[in-house]
Amino acid sequence: MSLRHELAAAGAHLAALGLSPGSSGNLSIRDGDRVLITPTGANLTSIDPDNLTALDLNGTHLDGPRPSKEFPLHIAFYRRDPDARAVVHLHSRHAAAVSCRPAWSPYSSLPPLTPYFVMRVGQTPLLPYAPPGDVRQAAELERLTFPFRAALLQNHGPVVSGTTAAAAIDAAVELEETAALLLSLGQLPARLLTPQEAQELADKYGTPWTS
């Protein structure tokens, strides 16, 4: 499957899961020193593989229609992490809701509720609010000094990277499920993974976690 068709299939899958209402959300995939990204206003249910936007790693528009206004976030992930090969930005309901709450720690908006959150996503910082498409927010994401593969944009939603499109999808789904679990617990006391338990998982599965 070509990268273009892989991106289209990823969008259709996320939309089928109900994680991309309306024309919200945008996806990209890295192809060498180019980035293929969904165009502005694209509906993830029906991405046209032949109508994607091509950018370079500086965000310069190379080919195709006008890119999603969130393209600076995608570029920031690729620039800060050479292993990133795909980026998913969604307005999924539960993760967006958690983005409206204070962060659990300076390194992660969500706590280590389950081993799978640590294994598949890792620490997920909360980036301060900025209007959609604001390049300053992308610059802040790029310059954070600790490792992460996912972030929550305050009062907005999640942005997740992966070494493949499948990995980015899995992480985005796991992040949404963890957010739903956190909201379901409400004010009930919850047992979190201990720092040692979380660190052991992070070390074993190669995910970023700062205890």
**Can you tell me the distance from the alpha carbon of 1 to that of 68, in angstroms, rounded to the nearest whole number?**
24
Residue 211: the pLDDT is 79
pLDDT tens, per residue, the chain with 211 residues: 799 999 999 999 999 999 988 778 999 999 999 999 999 988 898 899 999 999 999 999 999 999 999 999 999 999 999 999 999 999 999 999 999 999 999 999 999 999 999 999 999 999 999 999 999 999 999 999 999 999 999 999 999 999 999 999 999 999 999 999 999 999 899 999 999 999 999 999 999 999 7
Residue 162: the pLDDT is 97
In angstroms, the Cα distances linking 202 to 103, 167, 193 are 20, 16, 12
Residue 21: the pLDDT is 81
CATH of 3-205, one of 3.40.225.10, 3.40.50.970, 3.40.50.10680, 1.10.1060.10: 3.40.225.10
Sign of torsion over alpha carbons 129, 179, 184, 21: positive
- Which residues are known catalytic residues? 70, 116
What letter would DSSP give residue 125?
A: P
Place of tokens 């995910």: 207
* Strand order from edge to edge, sheet including 34-37: 61-63, 53-56, 34-37, 26-31, 86-89, 157-162, 150-153, 126-127
